Amino acid sequence: MSSTYEGIIASNGITMGNVYLFKKNEITVDSELISAENVEFEQQKLKKAMSDYKKELENRTFSTKEEEEITNAHKELISDPYLYDTITTKIVTELNNAQMALKSTIDEMVSTIELLDDEYLKERATDYKDIGEQILYKLKGIKPASLSNLPEDVIIVSKELTPSDTSTMDKTKVLGFATDLGAKTSHTSIIAQTMGIPAIVGMSNISEKVNDGDFVIIDANVGNVIVSPTEEEKEEYRSLIKEQKEEKDRLEKIKNKVAKTIDGCEKEVSANIGNLEDLDIAINSGCDGVGLFRTEFLYMENSHFPTEEEQFEVYKQAALKLDGKPLIIRTLDIGGDKNLKYFDFPKEDNPFLGFRAIRFCLKKPGIFRTQLKAILRASAFGKVRIMFPMVINVSEIIESKKIIEDIKKELDDANISYDKNIEVGIMVETPSSVVMADQFIKYVDFFSIGTNDLTQYLLAVDRGNENISYLYSNYNPAVLRAIKHIIKVSHDAGKWTGMCGSFASDTKATKLLLGLGLDEFSGAAGKISKVKDTILNSNYEEEKEFSDSLLNIEDVEEIEKIVFKHNK
């Protein structure tokens, strides 16, 4: 008799095969304090272990761009003086041995990062855990378990797969993943998506429910792992796998098409990115541009405020890679749950409503000017746009645009090229920006709706609070009415509105947003083909009528049921 277990879908698809149960070496950290005479010895042990791991990273070969990106991130983190200095401080001042100091430091970093609200940023915790684990192996002289010599085509089941595990894996023999831990944005998920294989994470204890060699089915379209399926289930899923391949081949053929409805309404389907590696994935996925470049990662992954030149090179490369397609660069959205190790933010009771985003930038004009100047210089190399986050007052837009005009004069005086007609927009993500949209639109060229925060603030629901997560829904009538209002205001002014929140890549919502009049959908690269496919097979006038009919429905569950039924 078969057994079914549920988890979080990391990479869509269906597969079946035998389990390869991957178990890690158990590591026990030495817990004895050292004497003052042994401080230098422990420091040298640490230095050698970190150096050995860094050499290992430098000698690693890659089969995908994502592997190279992960390895480069680890090289940057292990080269950061802050990591080494923090560990050695514990050795010197607390007389921790190298293993204790390492574990304590990594645990502190992981705890801090895991408090962040942004799932993308939370994955930095996985990086630090992985680095700590690899250095610990070196300190103890243990060779870690590896997936480099798999015996046959298998489905890997494990408690957790770290970046080091996936980077050294024999990918030619992997059919899919199922793990106890992990999230949608984890490295395991990214690797699975890149490989195009089904994966389910966050399953709690799947590694305890299967044995090596068990036959399983991964249905990562619904989030199930079926252990010891019946012959009838196997036959059913063989048919579904065949259909899946045909669908994948079909979407691959349309990814670079223009997203135009049956009745001729054209839309842009763009991607959200955090770095140049994300951009490569987005371009390969057929994006029409970038609707959100989260520039805070340039700051968070640095040991100092990035210079104008450092930022300019990144923005320039992004513009060149897009080859004339739009690149919307969001100015620094730091604060809230996103802090910098080299800047002390004031302690706040509610940082999400505190000193962050545009408020931080206008209070720190030197930092703001440096970024804006780098963006303006990069605009000479492509279709670059500027976007301000967390705006609540017209004065914030006016002051920010004045800084842009001052920088333009500096560039003119220095005979430096830039786009003199560069477009400037704002993220609409606060209740104030919804209510004042008709005034804000006078001062900007476009809106981009940030549904993640907008939904949270409109509904007064903390999206990270599990106790009230059932109240958080983009389909809430208040949210849908706000979206409709924002789009209408921009259209009445002859301007356009995009969306860069996760709702934009919710393919169940594509027809609804199309009907509400959204001009640009910007989200996950992996959803671009599906969003385009939905638009290509939709009639705008019909979807407009459908979406308008939902605006008078009061109950969110009823709206969700109608939308989901409409997509079948």
Catalytic residues: 187, 500
Closest CA to 178 of 205, 201, 194: 201
CB neighbour list of residue 397: distance below 8 Å, 6 or more residues apart: 388, 391, 426, 440, 443, 444
520 close to 487: Cβ distance less than 8 angstroms = no
Closest CA to 388 of 346, 431, 459, 443: 443
413 close to 434: Cβ distance less than 8 angstroms = no
The token duo for 239 is 């048919």
Cross-strand bridge partners of residue 201: 8
Strands (E), 331-414: 383-388
- Three-state SS for 157? strand
Give how far Cα 283 sits from Cα of 195, 323, 326, 327, 340, Å.
16, 10, 12, 12, 30
- Three-state SS for 29? coil
Q: Give the per-residue SS3 of 475-542.
A: CCHHHHHHHHHHHHHHHHCCCEEEECCHHHHCCCCHHHHHHHCCCEEEECHHHHHHHHHHHHCCCHHH
Structure-token match 């405020």, residue found: 305
The token duo for 318 is 């992004």
Closest CA to 52 of 125, 146, 145, 138: 138
Closest CA to 60 of 166, 162, 195, 139: 166
The token duo for 356 is 């962050």
Give how far Cα 329 sits from Cα of 102, 286, 388, Å.
37, 19, 9
Q: DSSP class of residue 219?
A: E
Cross-strand bridge partners of residue 8: 201
Cross-strand bridge partners of residue 387: 330, 425
Helix 451-459, helix 477-492: angle, nearest 10: 120
How far apart (Å, rounded) are the C-alpha atoms in residues 30 and 485? 61
Cross-strand bridge partners of residue 174: 154
The token duo for 357 is 């985003």
What number of other Cβ atoms are within 10 A of residue 422's Cβ?
Answer: 18
